Structure formats: structure tokens, C-alpha cells
Amino acid sequence: MITHTVAFKLKHPAGSAAEREFLAKGCRLAEIDGVENFRCLRQISQKNPYDFNFSMQFADQSAYDHYNQHPDHQNFVQNVWLPEVADFLEADFVEMENGLPSPAQEN
Amino acid sequence: MITHTVAFKLKHPAGSAAEREFLAKGCRLAEIDGVENFRCLRQISQKNPYDFNFSMQFADQSAYDHYNQHPDHQNFVQNVWLPEVADFLEADFVEMENGLPSPAQEN
């Protein structure tokens, strides 16, 4: 299981209709085959520069690749994300074996 | 429900005993009252500068404050986190109403 997240802030004013429309479009990424546990979150720590976060899970790298290459995702990136997002940071997470990295795992 | 996360990289070499010891100590933060769904994750995106992520949930701000002020947490921060972490970024998340920000919410 891979957890894929992206924290972001928008060019739109907080509370604007354009903000809500962007988020509504983003949340529809949940409908792409293989996307699990999609969450559309508000980021509230003042120690962090981003305002929102999309989080989703994939069973494996193949499901993740399918999402990345899906026309609905690519259309969203080109026509909604790139024009409307001011800054962002992606992060992907996997569980560690026994909650800890393996001694053999050296990157 | 508040999801509290911190992405970080360590001063220790990848795969080292010191790395495993740090993570084992960090995972014991899960034992503090009010900490729910603690996850000790590896960050794997090459688009992100951090190697690990602790994620946990709190029922409300009161539980979060209790954790922040707990002696076990404060001892960990002073004696383990600050000496051994090279860089980090905190992020806190809440669900949005109906999956979208309220029109009245203007920060």
C-alpha cells in the first residue's frame, strides 16, 4: 500500500468560489480506478506553508502508475492544477517492516 | 479529528543502527494518552526532501495540547529529536465540511 499526498496552496483567495470549484474538481480524482481512501484536507499548522492536502492510497506501484497516466488525471494537471496552484509539495509513504526500516535497507 | 504529521530526515546514515534506534524511540510516542492511529512511515517520493514521517490523530485540540505538553513528548523533543533530526516539516490536517471548505470560512 502506497499513500500518495500533495500539499498545496492556491492562487485563489481563501473562501472564494474559485477555491471551492478547484477543490470540487480535485476531489473527483477519487473516481479514477485504483484510487482508495481519497481525502481532501485542510492544512491548519502555522508551521507549514500549504493550505490544503489531497491524500489517497494505491494497492501497489502499478495502480499508482495507472492513476498518473490516466487521462482524467493528466487533464486535471494540465488544465486545472498547473494554472491554479501557487505552490505544492508531494510526498509518498509506505509502512516500514515491523514499524522500522529493515537493517538490510540501505537505499 | 486532527491529523498531526511531521516529515523529517535524520543526521544518521540510512540503514544505520542509530537510525533504527531513533525510529524505535519515536514510535513510543504512540503510547501517550490521546494519540490515535500512530504511523511510522518511510517517505519514498524523490520530489520530497524528507525520508520519514510520523503521523498520528487526536480527537480534538485538547488531546493535541495534552500530547504537546506531555513530559514523554517534551523529553523526546529535547533529548532525541533536536540532537538527531537534520530537517523537518510539520503539517496538521482536518477534514473539510462536505469535503469542501465552507463558504463562510475566510481564515
Confidence of residue B36 (pLDDT cuts 50, 70, 90): very high
**Alpha carbons B76 and B106: distance in angstroms, whole number:** 36
Which residues in chain B touch residue A93, judged by CB atoms under 8 angstroms apart? Answer: 39, 41-44, 53, 55
CATH architecture of B2-95: 2-Layer Sandwich (3.30)
Output the pTM of the full model: 0.89
Q: What is the ipTM of this complex?
A: 0.87
Give pLDDT tens digits for A27-80: 999 999 999 999 999 999 999 999 999 999 999 999 999 999 999 999 999 999
| Sole residue written with cell 533504527 | B20
Banded pLDDT at B62 (limits 50, 70, 90) = very high
**B45 closest CA partner among A46, A68, A70:** A68
Nearest chain B residue (CA) to A4: B45
Strands B52-58 and B2-10: antiparallel
Q: Hey, what's the cell of B92? A: 496538521
Mind giving me the DSSP string for B20-76? HHHHHHHHGGGGSTT-EEEEEEEE--TTSS-SEEEEEEESSHHHHHHHHH-HHHHHH
Q: What pLDDT is stored for residue A105 in this prediction? A: 45
User: In CATH terms, is domain A2-96 a member of 3.30.70.100?
Assistant: yes
First to last CA, chain A: 19
Q: Mutation test of the interface with chain A: which of B38, B41, B98, choosing the one with the most A Cβ atoms within 10 A?
A: B41
